[in-house]
Structure 1
Amino acid sequence: MNSPKFGLRLASVIFGLMSLGQLWRLVAQPQVLVAGAPMPAWPSAVAFVLLLALCIWLWRLSGKAG
């Protein structure tokens, strides 16, 4: 359980779940208020792409850490 591979895979799964949450926000379009003002959806699109890139990067890196 102390292997770098396990840590990288776990971080990758967490980033993947976070990216799915951002994708859900883009698809469902719930109204999110920040200090009473509606939050646009475009930051979720940026977050989705960045989190997905981190997920893929860490997963590939974990294959090399074996």
Structure 2
Amino acid sequence: MKPFTLISVVFLSLLALLQLTRALLGWEVTVNGIVIPVWVSGIAFVIAGTLALMLWRA
């Protein structure tokens, strides 16, 4: 596996874990006065996790 591919896999995996943690613990995120719903983190977890898995298998 190329070094930059490995870095991308690690980054996407950490991002997915962070999103999953937010979804499970219900952390509130506010961007410019707008509250981001927790379900958005569920979608972000699936996308980041899928990308990490696809890169790992490539």
SS of the residue aligned with 1:33?
strand
Name the % identity: 34
Q: Deviations over 1:24-54 (max 9, x none)?
A: 1001101222333432111111100000001
The TM-score with structure 2 as length reference comes to 0.85
**Equivalents in 2 of 1:6, 1:35: separation in Å?**
36
In 2, distance between residues paired with 1:10 and 1:34?
Answer: 27
* Structure 1 residue aligned with 2:57: 60
Segments of 5+ residues of structure 1 without an aligned counterpart are: 62-66
Question: Tell me, what secondary structure is at the counterpart of 1:9?
Answer: helix
For the pair shown, which has the larger CA radius of gyration, 1 or 2? Answer: 1
Alignment of 1:26-37 (within 5 A): 26-37=23-34
Structure 1's consecutive aligned runs of 4 or more residues displaced over 6 angstroms after TM superposition are none
| TM-score normalized with structure 1 length | 0.76
Instruction: Give yes or no for the alignment of 1:40 onto 2:37.
Output: yes
More strand by share: 2
- Larger relative contact order (CA 8 Å, sep ≥ 6): 1
